[in-house]
């Protein structure tokens, strides 16, 4: 059985109110009640929650029909149809502020009353659906923005939102860190897949917190490989020191974790400093990435490192030698680049994080 539309009548002339009630019931509406004062209209709207209020603009009492309508519409979200015999511009302009669903001039007929009510109900339905859709779109935008902030740097997101594209940038000097876990194949064989993913997620979340502390950018994690960069998208002078300090904290974190872990997580780290090109790849699934020989050398530094050690290139060493004690390891042959000096980072000397 279809429910009848419930209507509250706010009219201070009793005879007119009774006539409206009869017409509405004849048209198939349900009249919840009728009142003659603005305060009573607000009270009844709160209690009865009608689908619509027929509101006389000039009600008796300290609260006018216009004032009551404003409260009802804003507080209870109920559509209003104004009843009025006044057509002066001042009154109508005041009434327009409340954005009523319709106006009905006295005297009115049954057809006019029916049309005004149905128009108001339809407008209210459309406005409600539009607000709901707008809210859903806003919520989706918030989710999308939140997801983007996990994938892309803030500066890149701003450029993407403003211009729709991100122009690739050349950086003369950034510091790249690659890490992996020595003996990772044995770890994968020792742990069930769900447990392995859970442990990696815990570790990488802690790594993310560390790099955020130092103002660095996470570029990717693939399997047991974790890659970050310092000195972009905003250029800084101390990116090499920050990246090494972050790597040291990662190793210290794992050392503490291993005290209560059945699996021994042993991190190898490789770092290099040099020029790169940075930009966005992909159209639906964005990735912020970097390219250049400096990236390849950083990867080679990681492959040539040992568990629990940080292996850095000569270019990185020249930037951090006043901050860390380092042990020279010899040279590594890199295709197309010749031989590259390598150093193990020992202890920090004087650096304190200024991120």
Same domain, 67 and 212: no
Task: Give me the pLDDT at residue 141, please.
Answer: 74
Same domain, 332 and 239: yes
Domain end (from 110, 132, 154)? 132
Confidence of residue 262 (pLDDT cuts 50, 70, 90): confident
- Chain segment 130-182, per-residue pLDDT in tens: 888 888 888 787 776 666 666 666 666 676 666 666 677 889 999 999 999 98
Domain end (from 84, 107, 132)? 132
What is the C-alpha to C-alpha distance for residues 128 and 124, in angstroms, rounded to an integer? 6
Higher pLDDT, 208 or 93: 208
Q: Is residue 177 part of a domain?
A: yes
Same domain, 296 and 201: yes
Same domain, 241 and 113: no
Task: Give me the pLDDT at residue 270, please.
Answer: 95
Q: How many CA atoms lie within 13 A of 127 on its CB side?
A: 13
What is the rounded radius of gyration, in angstroms, for the C-alpha atoms of the chain? 35
Same domain, 117 and 174: no
User: What's the rounded mean pLDDT across residues 18-42?
Assistant: 91
Task: Give me the pLDDT at residue 49, please.
Answer: 93
- The number of beta carbons lying within 10 Å of the beta carbon of residue 334 is 16
What is the share, in percent, of the chain residues with pLDDT greater than 90?
39
Q: Is residue 159 part of a domain?
A: no
pLDDT at 355 over 50: no
Confidence of residue 351 (pLDDT cuts 50, 70, 90): very low
Instruction: List, as own/partner pairs, every contact residues 334-339 make where C-beta atoms lie below 8 angstroms and the sequence separation is at least 24, other chains included.
Output: 334/296, 334/297, 334/300, 336/293, 337/293, 337/297
Distance of CA 206 to the CA centre of its chain: 21
- Going by C-alpha positions, the residue among 7, 13, 4 that lies closest to residue 116 is 7
> At a CB cut-off of 8 Å and minimum separation 6, what does 130 contact?
none
- Chain segment 287-310, per-residue pLDDT in tens: 778 889 999 999 999 988 999 999
Average pLDDT, the chain: 85
Q: Is residue 183 part of a domain?
A: yes
Tokens standing for residue 277: 């090109």
19, burial (CB in 10 Å: exposed 0-12, middle 13-18, buried 19+) = middle
- Chain segment 85-135, per-residue pLDDT in tens: 765 666 666 656 666 777 777 777 888 889 888 888 888 888 888 888 888
pLDDT at 2 over 70: no
Tokens 């660095």, located at residue: 216
Same domain, 122 and 237: no
Tokens standing for residue 224: 């047991």
What is the C-alpha to C-alpha distance for residues 185 and 165, in angstroms, rounded to an integer? 40
Tokens standing for residue 266: 């042993």
Task: Give me the pLDDT at residue 152, please.
Answer: 66
Q: Is residue 209 part of a domain?
A: yes
Distances 102 to 99, 116, 229, 256 between C-alpha atoms, Å: 9, 6, 61, 70
Same domain, 274 and 335: yes
CATH of the domain at 19: 3.40.50.2300
Q: Is residue 143 part of a domain?
A: no
What is the C-alpha to C-alpha distance for residues 218 and 236, in angstroms, rounded to an integer? 16
Question: What one-character DSSP code corresponds to residue 5?
Answer: P
Task: Give me the pLDDT at residue 247, please.
Answer: 94
- Chain segment 44-71, per-residue pLDDT in tens: 999 999 999 999 988 878 998 888 989 9
- Going by C-alpha positions, the residue among 273, 54, 61 that lies closest to residue 176 is 273
pLDDT at 353 over 50: no
Domain that holds residue 244: 168-348
Same domain, 33 and 77: yes
Q: Is residue 83 part of a domain?
A: yes
Domain end (from 76, 105, 132)? 132
In the chain, the largest separation of any two C-alpha atoms, in whole Å, equals 104
Same domain, 212 and 340: yes
- Asked if residue 11 lies in contact with residue 54, where contact means CB atoms within 8 angstroms, the answer is yes
Q: Is residue 60 part of a domain?
A: yes
> At a CB cut-off of 8 Å and minimum separation 6, what does 232 contact?
153, 169, 171, 174, 217, 276, 278, 290
CATH of the domain at 295: 3.30.70.1230
298, burial (CB in 10 Å: exposed 0-12, middle 13-18, buried 19+) = buried
Same domain, 127 and 172: no
Task: Give me the pLDDT at residue 46, please.
Answer: 94
Same domain, 70 and 178: no
Tokens 């000569």, located at residue: 314
Q: Is residue 155 part of a domain?
A: no
Distances 196 to 72, 191, 200, 231, 254 between C-alpha atoms, Å: 57, 6, 6, 32, 15
Same domain, 250 and 178: yes
What is the domain count for the chain? 2
Tokens standing for residue 283: 């159209």
Task: Give me the pLDDT at residue 244, please.
Answer: 95
pLDDT at 273 over 90: yes
Tokens standing for residue 181: 């876990």
């Amino acid at each position: 059985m279809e429910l009848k539309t419930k209507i509250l009548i706010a009219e201070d002339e009793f005879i007119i109110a009774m006539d409206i009630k009869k017409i509405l019931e004849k048209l198939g509406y349900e009249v919840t009640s009728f009142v003659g004062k603005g305060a009573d209209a607000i009270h009844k709207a709160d209690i009865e929650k009608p689908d619509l209020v027929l509101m006389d603009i000039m009600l008796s009492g300290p609260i006018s029909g216009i004032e009551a309508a404003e409260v009802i519409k804003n507080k209870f979200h109920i559509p209003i149809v104004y009843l009025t015999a006044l057509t002066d511009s001042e009154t109508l302009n005041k009434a327009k502020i409340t954005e009523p669903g319709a106006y009905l001039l006295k005297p009115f007929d049954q057809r006019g009353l029916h049309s005004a009510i149905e128009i108001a109900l339809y407008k209210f339905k459309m406005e409600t659906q539009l607000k709901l859709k707008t809210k859903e779109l806003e919520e989706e935008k918030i989710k999308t923005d939140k997801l983007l902030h996990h994938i892309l740097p803030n500066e890149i997101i701003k450029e993407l939102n403003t211009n729709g594209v991100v122009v690739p940038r050349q950086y003369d000097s950034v510091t790249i860190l690659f890490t992996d876990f020595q003996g990772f194949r044995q770890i994968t064989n020792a742990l069930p897949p769900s447990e392995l993913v859970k442990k990696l997620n815990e570790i990488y979340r802690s790594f993310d917190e560390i790099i955020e502390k130092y103002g660095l950018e996470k570029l990717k994690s693939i399997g047991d490989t974790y890659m970050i960069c310092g000195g972009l998208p905003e250029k800084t002078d101390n990116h090499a020191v920050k990246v090494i300090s972050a790597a040291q904290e990662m190793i210290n974190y794992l050392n503490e974790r291993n005290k209560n872990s059945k699996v021994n997580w042993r991190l190898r780290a490789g770092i290099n400093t040099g020029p790169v090109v940075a930009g966005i790849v992909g159209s639906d699934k964005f990735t912020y990435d970097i390219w250049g020989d400096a990236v390849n050398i950083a990867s080679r530094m990681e492959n040539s490192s040992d568990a629990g050690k940080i292996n850095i290139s000569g270019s990185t060493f020249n930037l951090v030698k006043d901050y860390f004690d380092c042990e020279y390891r010899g040279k590594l042959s890199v295709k197309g680049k010749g031989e590259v000096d390598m150093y193990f980072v020992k202890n920090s000397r004087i650096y304190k994080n200024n991120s």
